[in-house]
Structure 1
Amino acid sequence: MQFSSRDFSNAHRVLKIRGLKVGLTGRPNAAPVLNGIDLDIRAGETHCLVGESGSGKSVTSLAVMGLLPKGALEVQGGEIDVEGFEITTATHAQMRELRARRISMIFQEPMTALNPVLRVGEQIEEVLNMHTDLSQAEAKKRTLDIMEQVHLPDVARIYQSYPHQLSGGQRQRIMIAMALVLDPHLLIADEPTTALDVTTQLQILKLIAEMQERKGTALLFITHDMGVVAEIADTVSVMQNGRIVEKAPIRDLLTNPKEEYTKKLLTAVPNLAPRPARPAASAKDVLDVQDLEMVYGGGGLLKRQGGVKAAQEVSFTIAPGRTLGIVGESGSGKSTVARCIIRLIDPTGGKVNVAGTDISTLSRRQLRPHRKHLQIVFQDPYRSLNPRWTVARSLCEGPINFGTSKAEAMEHAAELMELVDLPRDALKRYPHQFSGGQRQRIAIARAVAMKPDLLIADEAVSALDVSVQAQVLDLLDDVQERFGIAMLFITHDLRVAAQICDEVLVMQKGRVVEHGAAGDVLQNPHDPYTRNLIEAAPGREWDFANFRALGTPPLTEGASA
């Protein structure tokens, strides 16, 4: 493992935070959201801010940008100095001038941050029009230049494109171009790679590092992915409950963490060593997919020839109690296969046998009695749970629709809440009253309420921080062991696949390129594409649980204390 050993002691300080306190607006006696934050970042330095959801990472970044939500949060003490400019006392006009020129930010979700009805080229130009006196021709030339610098292909075409016409990685590159077009001295990146597959993530991390080195930008990188931290950080601050509990150079933090909370974060990170494969609970397969095909576009008789082949000749089986993981880059066809199996979309070819019945050609009415055999857990539970329904109604809806009495469904819902480690009285609450990890537990409970034979988890833990992710993975493991459910697990995180999957199927451009036992695929891959995926996984050379690089001896007992 190669650690950053760059010395920034002689570089000028770009960001200085002292005693920062952020609290609820109009409630000075309430517990502060941030309490006494101290932070320094120098030119060219990458400082990673890590911690669980709710620790205060994003609030810190919003305070630096002067973007705390009005009427909700306010700075109640301390100072934020950006190269001699005090943020906490700046006027709206001063902050507007400061943003983009001195400080800029890359947000986590570009589809939310980008305007869906404006071409992306126009959105980059808008930054130049607001902050410079460049002519329209000069602004367009500068825009095309920065788009080339972030390695976008065919910049003339992408300049004219809308956000929805670009891939996730391309949209994130547009966000980076917007953030860097005026050469800011401080760049804040808030979880910019969380939802990206490993190869796209690697490209984005390399791009940020390249632009940073070229321009000498100070970088505040917010993430819950310790693998990314191991790859890019010079220094790290660990946040918990609105405080920085540990701060150290990356080498010291990963090899000799001082705080128990830091050790907890590190030991929660899954590694690429697959778990032992488990025997099937029964010899009869729950799911048997044969030559599945999905073609988008093209019409009528020419549909198969003229459309985009999102899935081609995909075949696999899953036995009770076993987990098959499907991995691959964005656009490889993973989610398309899952949606075809559960019939959210209708496949254009092949067979999908669930519990002995081919459901691929059934009508919606014919399909209804078979729905209880298969359930799905989506990536974002806040979008998949009805915000106007109580948890009780969400958990009871399915069983009641299939003939269970309301009283029996309510009792079963209460049992399920205990199964997912939530209190029974939380049934009366609504989704927005829970954390992200708790909402995902509710989504799992809703799926299990139907007593399915097959559970599909589509990126079910990708948006969760490492400690909550570990809890949800343990929960899925427990549920599967208790009920003997077969599971199809869709993920772009190979470390997660190694921890939960018995078999791994690798997809590229709609085709299966490798399929086998998780140990064989992840430790001895045969296809070059699989090898590229594994090599792109951040932190793959690090044994986080033992605070060491792979190939070095583990620490002796007490060495990290």
Structure 2
Amino acid sequence: MEFKSRDFSQAGRVLKIRKLKVGLTGRPDAEPVLDGIDLDIRAGETHCLVGESGSGKSVTSLAVMGLLPKDALEVQGGLIALEGVEITAASASQMRELRARKIAMIFQEPMTALNPVLRVGEQIEEVLNMHTDLSQAETKKRTLDMMEQVHLPDVQRIYQAFPHQLSGGQRQRIMIAMALILDPDLLIADEPTTALDVTTQLQILKLISEMQERQGTAVLFITHDMGVVAEIADTVSVMQHGRIVERAPIRDLLTDPQEDYTKKLLRAVPNLAPRAARAATTAQEVISVQGLDMTYGGSGFFRKSEGVKAAQDVNFTIRPGQTLGIVGESGSGKSTVARCIMRLIDPTEGKVTVAGTEIAQLGRRQLQPHRKHFQIVFQDPYRSLNPRWTVARSLCEGPINFGTPKDEAMAKAAELMELVDLPRDALDRYPHQFSGGQRQRIAIARAVAMKPDVLVADEAVSALDVSVQAQVLDLLDDIQERFGVAMLFITHDLRVAAQICDEVLVMQKGLVVEHGPAAQVLADPRHDYTRNLIEAAPGRQWDFANFRALELAHPRQGATT
């Protein structure tokens, strides 16, 4: 792997942080959230801040932006200076001006950062209206020009669109346009590509790099994805428990990490080498999908149209103890197939046979007794677990509904907590009292409580940091070995698919373009679309576990770091 050698010693220092301490508001004696952070970022430099969830990455960015939640966190010591202006001493009005002209931020989830009732063009213009004296015509012209710079298609149409009418990648481009329209000196990007598929992720990373080179912007990039770090970083700071435990240029960090924690993070990164195929415990398929079609919309009483074909002629089978992965870009039809199998939506055509019963055409009342045979784990466990229920109630609900006595269900719930490496005495807690990785373990335990034949995991690890992700993947492996459950694993991360899937099915625009053993599809893809997905995977040219570069037969064009 060839690294760009960039020297920033002569560049102007944009951000200076010294001995920054952030703690709980009004509790100076409590354990600090950030303890003695030192950081420097120079013009044109990309500085990546990495670490597990709870390490303090996002708190650092919020402190720099002056956006720490009031009555919860406060700066208790240290210095934050942006081009000589001390942020920790700035007034609210000064910070508003700084946030527009000197510093800007891209958040992880643009749908929560954008106003859902305003057109996106108006939201970009709002920045100019508040901080410039441009006329309305000049404002619109500059807005459209910025939208073109971030490579949005058909800018006149998108200018008039609402956030929900855009894809995830397009919404993130709108956020980038808003952040960069006043040419800030520092751009903070907080996990801006975590929920995006690999091709959209690559486009966003290239866009940030392109805008940075054009404007000389300093970038503080917060991420838990070491693959992304390998692609874009000049310098890396590793955070653990509110402290920076290692800082190094990207070449040194990847080839010669010094701290055990850094080595642990790197070794947890999955690679694209497919797992060895596992033999099925029986030749009988536990799930069979034949000719599955799903069309949204279509002809109605007042209109005639073909509708949107979200899935067309999907066919596959899964045997007990095996995992089939469905991969593809956003909008490819992956989750539509999963929801059809779960009967969360009704397929337009086709057959879905689970444990010997054809369920695709069953009515809701007829389907109810069969639901215990197939369970799903969603991407966000916080949204799928009832926040008002204790963990015990969430785990017991399904078995009790199917006739298990309450005492027996409670005893089984305690066993399940041990199965997913959580303490039995946590049964009386609520979802908000757990970390993201722990909540996902609870969601898995809830699914396993029904003793299903098929487990559907829909992006179940995409929002987790790499070490927790590795733990959850190991847990799913262990559950398969113990119970022989068949798994349908939906993911946009090919590295995750390589670690857990026996077979891989690739979807593009609702069509299956490639299907076969993981070793064949990921190591020797036949379809151009599959090859493009693999080439777009961040950090694919790096063997993180062994701290070395890989020799690739087909290196990505212009993919040096």
Give the TM-score, by structure 1 length.
Answer: 0.98
Give the equivalent residue in structure 2 for 1:350.
Answer: 350
- Structure-1 residue corresponding to 2:212: 212
Contact 2:377–2:460 (CA under 8 A) maintained in structure 1: yes
CA distance in 2, matches of 1:124, 1:302: 37
Q: Please tell me the residue identity of whatever aligns with 1:83.
A: E
| CA distance in 2 between partners of 1:505 and 1:551 (Å) | 26
What displacement does 1:303 show?
9.3
Distance 1:108 1:135 in 2: 32
C-alpha distance in 2, partners of 1:49/1:363?
51
Q: What SS does the corresponding residue of 2:370 show, helix, strand or coil? A: helix
SS in 1 for 2:89: coil
What is the match of residue 506 of structure 2?
506
Which deviates more from structure 2 when the two are superposed, residues 431-440 or residues 128-137? 128-137
**Identity rate, percent:** 84
SS in structure 1 at match of 2:397:
helix
1:253 is the counterpart of 2:268: no
* Match in the other structure for 1:167: 167
Worse-matched range after superposition: 295-304 or 15-24:
295-304
Find the aligned partners of 1:302 and 1:52 in 2 and give their Cα distance. Answer: 53
Distance 2:512 2:177 in 1: 34
Residues 262-289 of structure 1 deviation map (CA, whole Å, 9 limit, x = unaligned)? 0000000000001100000111101100
**Partner in structure 2 of residue 41 of structure 1:** 41
- What's the CA shift for 1:306? 1.5
Counterpart residue number, 2:451? 451
Equivalent residue letter for 1:212: Q
**2:436 maps to 1:431:** no
1:269 paired with 2:257, answer: no
The residue type paired with residue 480 of structure 2 is Q
Deviation at 1:550, TM superposition (A): 1.2
Letter in 2 for 1:248: A
AA of the residue aligned to 2:99: R
1:4 is displaced (CA, Å) by 3.0
Deviation of the 1:551 alpha carbon: 3.5
C-alpha distance in structure 1 between counterparts of 2:522 and 2:6, whole Å: 33
C-alpha offsets along residues 107-154 of structure 1, whole Å, 9 cap, x if unaligned? Answer: 000000000000000000000011111111111111001000000000
Contact map agreement 2:50 2:238 (CA 8 A) in 1? yes
Q: What residue number does 1:13 align with?
A: 13
Instruction: Give runs of aligned pairs for residues 3-402 of structure 1, distance below 5 A.
Output: 3-300=3-300, 306-402=306-402
Q: Deviations over 1:176-218 (max 9, x none)?
A: 0000000000000000000000000000000000000000000
Whichever residue aligns with residue 484 of structure 2, its letter is G
What is the distance in 1 between the residues matched to 2:22 and 2:243? 11
In 1, Cα distance between the equivalents of 2:3 and 2:231? Answer: 8
Name the SS for the 1:370 alignment partner.
Answer: helix
Whole-angstrom CA distance in 2 between matches of 1:4 and 1:79: 31
Q: What is the identity, as a one-letter code, of the residue corresponding to 1:525?
A: P
Aligned partners of 1:295 and 1:304 also within 8 Å: no
- Name the SS for the 1:108 alignment partner: coil
Residue type of the partner of 1:529? Y
Distance in 2 (alpha carbons) for counterparts of 1:301 and 1:371: 33
Given residue 168 of structure 1, which amino acid in structure 2 is its aligned partner? G
| Residue in structure 2 matched with residue 473 of structure 1 by the alignment | 473
Matched to 1:218, the amino acid is: A
Measure the CA separation in 1 of the matches of 2:3 and 2:173.
Answer: 26
Contact 2:391 2:442 (C-alpha < 8 Å) held by counterparts: yes
Tell me by how many angstroms 1:305 deviates: 5.5
- Structure 1 residue 509 displacement after superposition: 0.2
Deviates more, 1:129-138 or 1:364-373: 129-138
2:464 — aligned with what?
464
Partners of 1:100 and 1:180 within 8 A in 2: no
Aligned-pair CA distance for 1:299: 2.7
Q: Is the 8 A contact 1:4 1:250 kept in 2?
A: no
CA gap of 1:254–1:302, structure 2 versus 1, over 3 A, is: farther
> Any idea what SS the aligned residue of 1:382 has?
helix
Distance 1:230 1:100 in 2: 30
- 3-state DSSP of counterpart to 2:26: coil
Query: Take 2:114 and 2:209, find their aligned partners in 1: how far apart are those partners?
Result: 23
Report if the CA contact (8 A) 2:299-2:305 is conserved: no
Q: SS at 1:142's partner residue?
A: helix
Distance 1:301 1:284 in 2: 44
Measure, in 2, the Cα distance between the counterparts of 1:263 and 1:421: 23
Deviation string, structure 1 residues 50-74 (Cα, Å, up to 9, x no partner): 0000000000000000000000000
SS of corresponding position for 1:408: helix
* Residues in 2 aligned to 1:28 and 1:465: alpha-carbon distance in whole angstroms: 30
Contact 1:51 1:224 in 2 (8 A): yes
Calculate the TM-score normalised by the size of structure 2.
Answer: 0.98
C-alpha distance in structure 2 between counterparts of 1:415 and 1:295, whole Å:
42
Looking at structure 1, the residues matched to 44 and 152 of structure 2 have their Cα atoms a distance apart, in angstroms, of 24
Aligned counterparts of 1:170 and 1:220: Cα–Cα separation in 2: 22
- Distance change (3 Å), C-alpha of 1:146 and 1:425: same
* Secondary structure of 2:101's aligned partner: coil
1:302 shift after superposition: 10
Amino acid at match of 2:388: R
Do residues 416 (structure 1) and 431 (structure 2) align?
no
What is the CA–CA distance in structure 2 between the aligned matches of 1:305 and 1:368, rounded to whole Å?
33
Q: Is the 8 A contact 2:106 2:176 kept in 1?
A: yes
Any stretches of 5+ residues in structure 1 without a counterpart? 553-561
Residue of structure 1 equivalent to 2:556: none
Task: Give the drift of 1:300.
Answer: 4.0
Q: 1:3, 1:230 within 8 Å by CA — same for their partners in 2?
A: no
Distance 1:34 1:5 in 2: 31
1:521 aligns with 2:515: no
Structure-1 separation of matches of 2:286 and 2:209: 46
Distance 1:199-1:372 versus aligned 2 partners, 3 A rule: same
Shift of 1:304: 9.6
Q: Distance in 2 between matches of 1:201 and 1:284?
A: 39
User: In the superposition, relative to structure 1, how do residues 488 and 302 fare at CA in structure 2: closer, same or farther (>3 Å)?
Assistant: farther
Q: 1:393 to 1:494 in 2, by over 3 A?
A: same
